[in-house]
Structures are given as C-alpha cells and as structure tokens.
Amino acid sequence: MKFGYFDDKAKEYVITTPHTPLPWINYLGSNDFFSLISNTCGGYSFYKDAKLLRITRYRYNNIPADSNGKYYYINDDGVIWNPGTMPSATETDTYECRHGLGYSRFCSSKNNLKAELLVFVPSDASCEINCLKLKNNSETEKNISLFSYVEFCLWNAVDDASNFQRNLSIGEVEVQGSTIYHKTEYRERRKHYSFFTVNTQVDNYDTNRDAFLGAGNGNAFPEAVCKKKCSNSIASGWYPIAAHQIDLTLLPGEEKEFVFMLGYCENPADDKWEAPGIINKTSAKALIERFNTMEKAMQAFAELKNYWETLLARFAVVSENEHIDRMANIWNQYQCMVTFNMSRSASYYESGTGRGMGFRDSCQDLLGFVHLIPERARERIIDIASTQFPDGSAYHQYQPLTKQGNLDVGSGFNDDPLWLIAAVAAYIKETGDYGILDVQVPFDCKKGTEVPLFEHLEKSFYYTVTHLGPHKLPLIGRADWNDCLNLNCFSSEPGESFQTTGPSEGPVAESVFIAGMFVKYGKEFEELCERTGHTELAKEAGKAVDEMYQAVLDNGWDGEWFLRAYDAQSEKVGSKECEEGKIFIEPQGFCVMAGIGKEEGIAEKALDSVNELLETKYGIMILQPAYTRYHLELGEITSYPPGYKENAGIFCHNNPWISIAETVLGRGNRAFEVYRKICPSYIEEISDIHRTEPYVYSQMIAGADAPGFGEAKNSWLTGTAAWTFVNLSQALLGILPGYDGLIVDPCLPETFGDFKVNRHFRGADYHIEIHKPKGVQKGVRWIEVDGERINGNQIPMVNGRNEYHVIVQMG
Ligand code: BGC
Ligand code: NOJ
C-alpha cells in the first residue's frame, strides 16, 4: 500500500494523505540554518547545532507523536483548520504535501478555501521562508482570521529540557511592527537573536504562549484562534512564542498571499550596542529586506531549485530502470547531502541533543557526498582530523558548533582511526588535491600540536598496527563499527550505559571486521605513501597489510564464512561453534571488499553463506541466529530483542557492503538483488509494512525474528545513504573516481541493458555511453574517448579539456 507517489519530473515525493504510518519528513537548509518539517507541518529549526542553537521547540516522545511545528491556523466562520492539517487535526477536503529538494509544499482546502504553503530555507541566508496563499473558491465573500504560531526554544535544547526552572524566568521578546523578536540571552552579550515576521501589517499578535493558547490548553484549538483575537501579550519568562493575527476579507475567486519569515541573526561580538533591554536589529532588518515580497521570495526559491539542479547534475544516469534513475539522480544523493549536514544529530529519531558529528559516521558520509561539494568535504576532513588524539585514536563524536571532541562519549572505538584514511583517499581521488595532506592539523583541537594531515593518516594506520591481540588481529576496544558489540564491557553494572562504561580496551578481544578494514584502507594508505614519495613507509605499510591478510586467513576464517571477533576470553564470536550469533554480516562484506579470500577461493563461499543464512525477503540480517538471551560477554548487542537493531535486524548500512563485495567477484545478478531489496523506490509499494518514508533509507528494518518483520525504524540519518550511493554509482553502474582519472567498470545483472551517465569530475563533464549486451554482468571490452580507443578502463585526463565523450563496450 502507498500513501503517495514519486513525481520524478519535479523531483518530489507527493504525499496524498496526512495519515501516513509515521511522520514523513523533509530537511530544509544546506549550510547553517536548518529545519526539519513533517508532512503535517511538524518540526523545528536550529542554527548550525541542534543542541546549542535550537531556535524553535520540539517535543520528542510526545502524544500526538509529531508535536510542535510552525503552524498556520485558519478560522473561517468558526471552522478552524491548518494547511498541513495539524495541530487541529481538522480533516480538510483536499490535502497534498510535496517534499522536494530543500523545500516542502502543502496544498489543501476546506469549505472552498484553498491554502497553499511553500516552506524553504534559501541557499544563502539564515532564515526559513513560508509563503502562504489563500484563495476563496466559493461564491460568497469570506471573512477569515489567519494566525501564525511558532514556539521558541531557549537556545540550548538540553537546558531547555532539563534546567527549565531557570528557563522559565529568562525568556524575553520584543515586538516591532509585524516582527516579533526572540532575544533571550541577548543580555548575556551573546549577540544573537531570532525573529518571526510577516510582510503585512498585523491586526494583533501574541508572544506569551498561555495568552495565545489559553492556560492549560493544547495547541489544537488555541483560545485566541477560537475567539479570533490575540491579546498583544508580551512574554516575560515562561514560554515565549510568536503568533500573528491577520484578519482578511476574500471576495469570491480572490487570492491573498503572505510571506512569513523565521530568521536567525548574529551581531558582531564587538558590537557596542548597549541600549538596555533592546536589541540591535540591523542584521534582522537587512535579512527581512531581502525576502519581504512574494517576488523576492520566489526569486530565492528559484535560486534554491537551481542550486539543487546544478549540484545533482554532477552525477546523472539515464537507464531503462526508473528506480535506479530516481534513486541515483534524486533521492540517494539528496539523502547523502542530509547525512553530511546532520551526521547523526537531528532527525525524528535522533534528538539533536545526544549526538553531534560522528568521527566514523562523518567519514563514511563523506564517501557519498564528496563529488557534490568537494570544498566542504575538505573542510569536514580537517575538522574531523583535528579531534584525533596524538596516538591516532579519536573522539567518537564532536559538537558541530564548537568542533570540539565530545568528552561524554570519549574515544576507544578502534575502527574510528581507519575511517579517516577512507575519507581522505576518497577526497583525493575525487579532486586530485594532494595538497590536503600538507595542511597543518592539530590533535585534540590543541594549538601548537599541528602536524601535516598526512601524519594523522600515519597515526591512524599505526594505531591498528600497535593494537593487535593474541591472534594478530586488531583489538576491538569499546566496539568497532558495530557500536553494540561490547566485548570489553563485561564488568559493567546492570543499568549502566554500555558505551560509556567498562574498560576501554582489554588486551584480548579482537575484531575480524577491523582486520578487513585494515586490509582495505591499509592498501589505500600504502598507495598514498607511494604516490607522495614515502617509499619506505609504503613498503612497511604493505608488509603490515600482508601480515593482516594472513592473520585473517589463519585466525579469522571459520570454514564457511569469516569469524566476527574474539571476545575478552579469546572465545570465538560469529562462529559455527557458537550457540547463537553464528554468522555476522560485517566481516563478510568488508573482508571480501578488501579482496581477502578471492584468490584462495573462499570469498565466494563467505558470500554464499550470507545468501543462505542471512537473507530475507526484506534484506540481509546482520547476524543469525538472533541472541535470545543477554550475554554478559557481548554487551549491548544482546540487549535488543531478537530481530531488532544490531541483534539480527536488517541493518541497512551493511547491505551495500555485500552488494559491493558481490561486484568484486563479478556477480552482477546477485549484487543487484541485494541492492534492490532495501532500495526505497523498489519497496514503496509496501509502505504500510515498511512505515518510514519511501524516498529515503532507514537505519534498520526489523529482521525475521521480530514480530514487526519488515518494519523500518530510524529513517534518514544512516550511513546507508552514502554506502548505497557508492554501491550504485561506483560498484553497480561502475563510474569510479581514481587517482589518475575516472574509471569505468560496471557490474550489473544480465538483464540490464545499455545506459548513459553524465559525471562531473575535476572540472570536466564526462558523457559516458555504456553498451551492455544482455547476458553480460561484468567486463569492459573497449573504451573510446572522443573517438579514440584507450588502453584499459581509466579515462586519461587531458589538460584543459572540460568535456569528454566516452563510449564503453562491455562484453
Ligand atoms: C544503537 C546503535 C547506535 C548507538 C549510538 C545504540 O543503541 O543500537 O545503532 O549506533 O546506540 O549511540
Ligand atoms: C549507528 C551509528 O551511527 C554507527 O556509527 C554504527 O556504526 C552503527 N549504528 C552500528 O552500530
């Protein structure tokens, strides 16, 4: 069952009912100002950091589930309704929500009054614009009262929820004309503030929540809306809001339009403005001036659309498969951008207060984003590397606003350092910018500790080399990619958080997954050493990689698949000898992606075991059999009921690893099958089972052991986005950036025919036509570039050429 449809031409998903199984959301903003918005107008906004600079308030875990947003209420002859239907929940006669790239549109009508709302964040301004049009489609004149409503959050979202006794006395507002300023904290000389304004004169306003809603009332039917009268209240402490009242008359057929704006401003720190109790509004006025007519707003909207068109055009495929085209050209890339911006901080499942930017997460997100805005990827790499410790280990997360490592979470995840190599290698392949390796980057953000980025990579590499266990495999530390496999936390007390307790690294517990990673990214490091003239280092690195390869063959192979780990007692994890959790997906994917076992003929076996033991109709489960009881020696992973999350859920993130691994073996049919099963567009038809948004990936789909088999959770902020884009664009469609040029090496099902790809790479546009006879899965026979055959499948770059026409013959 579906709740909408894809409109590919408009690059939108059209939701046709407000009653989706869960809120289906979108993200607005691409630089500093961000908003989340659901298909019923729920959501919130923040500037740079969802924890420290939260502009509007949201209530997680509330009832109804999607509580609070930026709302417009219409009182049309006593009938109160909202364009997105919430919070009144009044059923409208028509309803449509279109989520597009960086904007959402709502169109609904009730009693012949039509409301069209367009919500977006301009590409270069710190504000959200809401264009609202009301049209009277009836035969008689309508006298309507329109109300706007936003509830301010008092900046620090953690304080706002935890130390609210203080917050209840600090809220301050100021009203000037139609602009309501929220200036809490301004008196502490934090020269920032926000405001909510509309480009028309208002009849009344409210800034005190209780005055607007009525004490003790919810926000479904505010007292002021029912009475058609705001009381011009000025909040002092308690709960500051911004609500406008606009009374209007609409003749039959008449339409009126308004531009509302929620803005965020910072005045320079040395601003001498000291007028007591009043804020310096210069910045706000300039911002308002930029967008205060429908023409100006629509111009900004056109620029936003153009921004996305240009960006996404950097990779575009035309094939015979609409799912592939839609995901590659629109939604997958879009989700990559969102994960790059948000990491795992703010979604409808991540509170925005607990987690900032992940070291591991952001490095991986970059793999799917680097082709879009390489300059921002570069900056991100430097930010991430700056939080690394001198021994190569790393803070697991850092705060986006301060860019400082997060002390509460700390370090000790032993896969973290290697992801930095993955990110930097991907960046240099995309851009050819070896100069990044010379950038001076500090350790732990401390001045005076700067060394060239290259040395950070060296530290990353040697962190693994110097942290090996009894089987010569990498020590796992607190956990590796699988946060919940806590092999050293057996001493933690019941009720303690798994990830913040226990010894950070025992001398014994080892990870075969990190071993696979080390072989894959260790080879990348070796190559980077060679290419930058570090010949001795390259040799040493090559030797360490070979030894690790051998250690995996000797101690990491279980007969039919790769082992997962050794626990703190040196007992096998993910082995046929185990009672539960006999096989895990992660090492199968990573070891084969690294090429381990290919020559020895065991890689195929590992992937066949995945197919046989972990496959379901909804995707591949992370492990089997599910853990049915708590295992002290394994930690959080066994705390989940069977079939959920890391305990045998279909953890989408590692499904593309298997698909990519299949392409390493040239098995296009199977690689595509794995891709297809969790692909949002392919499973749109089962939206009633899947339940999360059908246009993006979710972190997890409940596995076969769970009562909710097939039901997804935790949509949007997942490494699945980046990895599936790598899977689709590089492994399946086979367009890969290489150090010396673009490489073409598709691996697709036999039934897949010819296709074309346009790829922007290092300042040039590549127009690639791929002729793929049916029956073929992998293998390039010849390539012609601008009429000339080339050797091999890497397209040589010609100085000064910015257009390449490439014909590829597979077979
Ligand atoms: C989840 C993991 C997540 C971790 C992050 C765990 O509870 O299961 O998926 O990575 O929390 O803190
Ligand atoms: C989600 C986390 O963000 C990611 O870092 C981790 O690898 C996976 N969960 C698996 O535990």
Q: Residues 52-103: pLDDT tens digits?
A: 999 999 999 999 999 899 999 999 999 999 999 999 999 999 999 999 999 9
Contact 463, 424 (CB under 8 A): no
Give CATH 1.50.10.10 domain extents, the chain.
Answer: 468-647
Active-site residue flag, 483: yes
CATH topology of domain 735-810: Maltose phosphorylase, domain 3 (2.60.420)
With tokens 């964040």, the residue in question is: 121
Ligand closest to Cα of 481 equals 2
E strands, 156-290, in order: 173-176, 179-182, 192-198, 204-208, 240-250, 255-266
Mutate to test the pocket of ligand 1, among 478, 480, 484 (most ligand atoms within 8 A of CB): 484
- What's the CA-to-centroid distance between 621 and ligand 2, angstroms? 15
Q: Is the CB of 361 under 6 A from ligand 1?
A: no
**pLDDT at position 492:** 56
Burial class of 686 by CB neighbour count within 10 A (0 to 12, 13 to 18, 19+): middle
CB 645 less than 6 A from any atom of ligand 1: yes
Considering every ligand atom shown, identify the ligand nearest to the alpha carbon of residue 637 and give its number: 1
**Host H or E run for residue 551:** helix 535-555
CA-499 nearest atom, ligand 1: 12
Rounded distance from Cα 731 to ligand 2 centre (Å): 23
CA of 588 to the centre of ligand 1 (A): 21
CA of 484 to the centre of ligand 1 (A): 7
Ligand with the closest atom to the CA of 718:
2
Residue nearest (by alpha carbon) to ligand 1 atom 4: 483
Domain 468-647 has CATH 1.10.580.10: no
Ligand 1 contact via 631 beta carbon (within 6 Å):
no
Taking the CA of 713 as reference, the closest ligand is 1
Q: In the sheet where 113-120 sits, what is the strand order? A: 4-7, 12-15, 94-100, 103-110, 113-120, 127-136, 255-266, 192-198, 179-182, 173-176
CA atoms of 624 and 679, how far apart (whole Å):
22
Cβ of 646 below 6 Å from ligand 1: yes
Measure 62 CA to ligand 1 centroid, in angstroms. Answer: 21
Task: Indicate which atom in ligand 2 lies nearest the CA of residue 479.
Answer: 11
Is 483 a pocket residue for ligand 1 (Cβ < 6 Å)?
yes
Please tell me the residue having the least CA distance from ligand 1 atom 7.
484
Quick one: which ligand is closest to 482's CA? 2
Q: Which atom of ligand 1 is nearest to the CA of 714?
A: 9
Task: For residue 235, give the 3-state DSSP assignment.
Answer: coil
Query: Could you identify the atom of ligand 2 that is nearest to the CA of residue 481?
Result: 7
Ligand 1 touching residue 344 (CB < 6 A)? no
Buried b (16+ CB within 10 A) or exposed e, 290-315: bbbeeebbeebbeebbebbeebbebb
Q: Is 366 in contact with 385 (CB distance < 8 Å)?
A: no
Strand partners, 384: none
Q: What is the pLDDT of residue 59?
A: 95
Distance from Cα 645 to the centre of ligand 2, integer Å: 10
| Domain at 4-309, CATH homologous superfamily | Glycoside hydrolase, family 65, N-terminal domain (2.70.98.40)
CA gap 510, 472 in Å, rounded: 9
Q: Which atom of ligand 1 is nearest to the CA of 355?
A: 12
Contact (CB, 8 A) for 233 and 211: yes
Task: Confirm if 445 and 383 have CB atoms less than 8 A apart.
Answer: no
Q: What are phi and psi of 647, to 5 degrees?
A: -95, 75
Q: Whose CA is nearest to atom 5 of ligand 1?
A: 483
The pLDDT tens digits for 399-427 are 999 999 988 888 999 999 999 999 999 99
Locate CATH 2.60.420.10 in the chain: 735-810
The CA 481 to ligand 2 mean position distance, Å, reads 6
Cα→Cα distances 391→458, 672, 681, Å: 10, 41, 44
Minimum CA distance residue for ligand 1 atom 3: 483
List the catalytic residue out of 483, 558, 705, 745: 483
User: How far does the centroid of ligand 2 lie from the alpha carbon of residue 742, in Å?
Assistant: 31
Q: Return the structure tokens found at 9.
A: 């031409």
Residues of the chain with pLDDT under 70: 490-504
Nearest CA to ligand 1 atom 2: 483
For residue 483, how far is its CA from the centre of ligand 1 (angstroms)?
Answer: 6
DSSP state of 67: B
Looking at the CA of 483, name the nearest ligand. Answer: 2
Amino acid at 683: I
Closest residue (by CA) to atom 10 of ligand 2?
482
Mention every residue, 6+ apart, whose C-beta is less than 8 A from residue 672.
Answer: 659, 732, 748, 749, 752
Ligand 2 atom 5: residue of nearest CA: 361
The minimum-distance atom of ligand 2 relative to the CA of 483 is 11
Instruction: In the chain, list all ranges with CATH 2.70.98.40.
Output: 4-309
CA-proximal residue: ligand 2, atom 7 (nearest):
481
The alpha carbon of 714 and the centre of ligand 2 are apart by a number of angstroms equal to: 12
Number of H helices, E strands in the chain: 20, 42
Question: Is 484 near ligand 1, meaning CB less than 6 Å away?
Answer: yes
Protein residues with CB under 6 Å of any ligand 2 atom: 344, 358, 360-361, 481-484, 646
Say if CB 522 and CB 544 are below 8 A apart.
Answer: yes
Index of the ligand 2 atom closest to the CA of residue 344: 3
CA of 699 to the centre of ligand 1 (A): 10
CA–centroid distance, residue 650 to ligand 1 (Å): 14
Ligand 2 atom nearest the C-alpha of 360 is 5
From the CA of 497, the nearest ligand is: 1
Pocket test residue of 367, 481, 621, 718 for ligand 2, highest count of atoms within 8 A of CB: 481
